[in-house]
Structure 1
Amino acid sequence: MLSIRKAVLAALCLCPLGALAADQAPDFSSTDGQYLDWLDRSVKPGVDFFHFANGGWLKANPIPPDRAEWGAYVAVDLGNQRFIHDMVEKASHGTKAAPGSVEQKVGDFYASGMDEKAINSAGIKPLQPELDRIAKINTVEQLPDEFAHLQMIGVAAPLSLQQMQDFKDSSKVIAVAMQAGLGLPDRDFYVQSGDASENIRAEYVKHIARTFQLLGDNQALAETEAKSVMTLETSLAKGSMTDVAMRDPKAIYHPMDVSSINALTPRLHWQGLMAGIGHPEIHGLNVATPDFFKTVNVELTHTSLNDWKTYLRWQLVQTYAPYLSQPFVDEDFRMASVLNGEKQQKPRWQRVLRAEDNALGFAIGKMYVDQKFPPSYKQAATQMVNQIRDALREDLKTLAWMTPATREAAIKKLDMMELRVGYPDKWRDYSGLQIDRGPYVLNVMRATTFEQQRQLAKIGKPVDRSDWDMTPQTVNAYYDPSMNNLNIPAGVLQPPLYDPSWPDSVNYGNTGATIGHEMTHGFDDQGAQFDGHGNLKNWWAPSDLKKFQAAVKCVADQYSQYTVADGVHVQGKLVTGEAIADQGGLILAWRAFHAQPAFVNAKTIGGFTPDQQFFIAYGHSWAMATRPETAKTRVTTDPHPPEIYRTNGVLANMPEFQQAFGIVPPSPMVKVDRCVIW
Structure 2
Amino acid sequence: MFSIRKAVLAALCLYPLGALAADPTPNFNSPDGQYLDWLDHSVKPGTDFFHFANGSWLKANPIPADRSEWGAYVALDLQNQRYIHDMVEKASQDTAAAAGSAEKKVGDFYASGMDEKTIDSAGIKPLQPELDRIAAISSVAQLQDEFAHLTMIGVAAPFALAQMQDFKDSSKVIAVVMQAGLGLPDRDFYVEGGANNEHIRKEYVPHVARTFQLLGDSASVADAEAKTVMALEISLAKASMTDVAMRDPHAVYHLMDVASANALTPKLHWQAVMTGVGHPEIQNFNVATPDFFKAVNDKLTSVSLDDWKTYLRWQLVQTYEPYLSKPFADEGFRMSSVLSGEQQQKPRWQRVLRAEDGALGFAIGKVYVDQKFPPAYKQAATQMVNQIRDALRQDLKTLSWMTPATREAAVKKLDMMELRVGYPDKWRDYSTLQIDRGPYVLNVMRATTFEQQRELAKIGKPVDRSDWDMTPQTVNAYYDPSMNSLNIPAGILQPPSYDPSWPDAVNYGNTGATIGHEMTHGFDDQGAQFDGHGNLKNWWSPADLKKFQVAVKCVADQYSQYTVDGGVHVQGKLVTGEAIADQGGLILALRAFHAQPGYASAKTIDGFTPDQQFFIAYAHSWAMATRPETAKTRVTTDPHPPEIYRTNGVLADIPEFQKAFGIVPPSPMVKKDRCVIW
Aligned to 1:171, the other structure's residue is in SS state strand
Cα gap change, 1:18 to 1:162, in 2 (>3 Å): closer
Match for residue 419 of structure 2?
A: 419
The residue identity in structure 2 corresponding to 1:65 is A
Q: Is contact 2:473-2:491 (8 Å) kept? A: yes
Query: Aligned partners of 1:217, 1:74: CA distance in 2, in Å?
Result: 40
Alignment pair present for 1:13 and 2:48: no
Alignment pair present for 1:171 and 2:189: no
Q: Is contact 2:3-2:164 (8 Å) kept? A: no
Cα gap change, 1:7 to 1:358, in 2 (>3 Å): closer
Alignment pair present for 1:200 and 2:200: yes
Match for residue 344 of structure 1?
A: 344
Match for residue 606 of structure 1?
A: 606
Match for residue 560 of structure 1?
A: 560
Q: Deviations over 1:274-300 (max 9, x none)?
A: 000000000110000000000101111
Match for residue 534 of structure 1?
A: 534
Match for residue 242 of structure 1?
A: 242
1:114-193 matched pairs, under 5 angstroms: 114-193=114-193
Superposed displacement of residue 3, structure 1: 4.3
Alignment pair present for 1:597 and 2:597: yes
Report how many residues are paired.
676
Aligned to 1:488, the other structure's residue is in SS state strand
Superposed displacement of residue 141, structure 1: 2.4
Q: Deviations over 1:356-407 (max 9, x none)?
A: 0000000000010010000000000000000000000000000000000000
Superposed displacement of residue 199, structure 1: 1.4
Query: Aligned partners of 1:334, 1:596: CA distance in 2, in Å?
Result: 51
Q: Is contact 1:16-1:68 (8 Å) kept? A: no
Match for residue 469 of structure 1?
A: 469
Q: Is contact 1:134-1:146 (8 Å) kept? A: yes
Q: Is contact 1:362-1:471 (8 Å) kept? A: yes
Match for residue 110 of structure 1?
A: 110
Superposed displacement of residue 26, structure 1: 1.5
Query: Aligned partners of 1:304, 1:323: CA distance in 2, in Å?
Result: 30
Alignment pair present for 1:294 and 2:275: no
Query: Aligned partners of 1:78, 1:5: CA distance in 2, in Å?
Result: 28
Aligned to 2:176, the other structure's residue is in SS state strand
Alignment pair present for 1:356 and 2:367: no
Query: Aligned partners of 1:15, 1:74: CA distance in 2, in Å?
Result: 12
Aligned to 2:78, the other structure's residue is in SS state helix
Q: Is contact 2:475-2:491 (8 Å) kept? A: yes
Aligned to 2:488, the other structure's residue is in SS state strand
Aligned to 1:173, the other structure's residue is in SS state strand
Superposed displacement of residue 140, structure 1: 2.1
Match for residue 545 of structure 1?
A: 545
Query: Aligned partners of 1:305, 1:412: CA distance in 2, in Å?
Result: 55
Q: Deviations over 1:199-220 (max 9, x none)?
A: 1111100000000000000000
Superposed displacement of residue 268, structure 1: 1.3
Match for residue 511 of structure 1?
A: 511
Query: Aligned partners of 2:21, 2:470: CA distance in 1, in Å?
Result: 21
Match for residue 39 of structure 1?
A: 39
Query: Aligned partners of 1:296, 1:17: CA distance in 2, in Å?
Result: 32
Q: Deviations over 1:594-622 (max 9, x none)?
A: 00001011000111000000000000000
Query: Aligned partners of 1:484, 1:263: CA distance in 2, in Å?
Result: 35
Q: Is contact 1:615-1:657 (8 Å) kept? A: yes
How big is the alpha-carbon RMSD for the aligned residues of Structure 1 and Structure 2? 0.8
Superposed displacement of residue 528, structure 1: 0.2
Q: Deviations over 1:175-225 (max 9, x none)?
A: 000100000000000011122211111110000000000000000000000
1:293-442 matched pairs, under 5 angstroms: 293-442=293-442
Superposed displacement of residue 302, structure 1: 1.0
With the length of structure 1 as denominator, give the TM-score of the two structures: 0.99
Superposed displacement of residue 2, structure 1: 6.2
Match for residue 87 of structure 1?
A: 87
Superposed displacement of residue 13, structure 1: 1.1
Query: Aligned partners of 1:604, 1:149: CA distance in 2, in Å?
Result: 62
Query: Aligned partners of 1:266, 1:161: CA distance in 2, in Å?
Result: 18
Q: Deviations over 1:654-677 (max 9, x none)?
A: 000000000000000000100000
Query: Aligned partners of 1:661, 1:301: CA distance in 2, in Å?
Result: 66
Match for residue 269 of structure 2?
A: 269
Query: Aligned partners of 2:533, 2:296: CA distance in 1, in Å?
Result: 35
Aligned to 2:67, the other structure's residue is in SS state coil
Query: Aligned partners of 2:16, 2:359: CA distance in 1, in Å?
Result: 21
Cα gap change, 1:640 to 1:423, in 2 (>3 Å): same
Q: Please list every run of 5 or more consecutive structure 1 residues that lacks an aligned counterpart in the other structure.
A: none
Superposed displacement of residue 500, structure 1: 0.2
With the length of structure 2 as denominator, give the TM-score of the two structures: 0.99
The residue identity in structure 1 corresponding to 2:13 is A
The residue identity in structure 1 corresponding to 2:114 is M
Q: Deviations over 1:209-255 (max 9, x none)?
A: 00000000000000000000000000000000000000000000000
Cα gap change, 1:162 to 1:18, in 2 (>3 Å): closer
Query: Aligned partners of 1:312, 1:18: CA distance in 2, in Å?
Result: 28
Query: Aligned partners of 1:268, 1:202: CA distance in 2, in Å?
Result: 33
Q: Is contact 2:339-2:630 (8 Å) kept? A: yes
Match for residue 615 of structure 2?
A: 615
Instruction: State, as a whole percentage, how many aligned pairs show the same letter.
Output: 83
Superposed displacement of residue 6, structure 1: 3.7
Query: Aligned partners of 2:193, 2:3: CA distance in 1, in Å?
Result: 26
Q: Could you tell which deviates more after superposition, 504-513 or 192-201?
A: 192-201
Alignment pair present for 1:656 and 2:656: yes
Superposed displacement of residue 14, structure 1: 4.9
Aligned to 2:162, the other structure's residue is in SS state strand
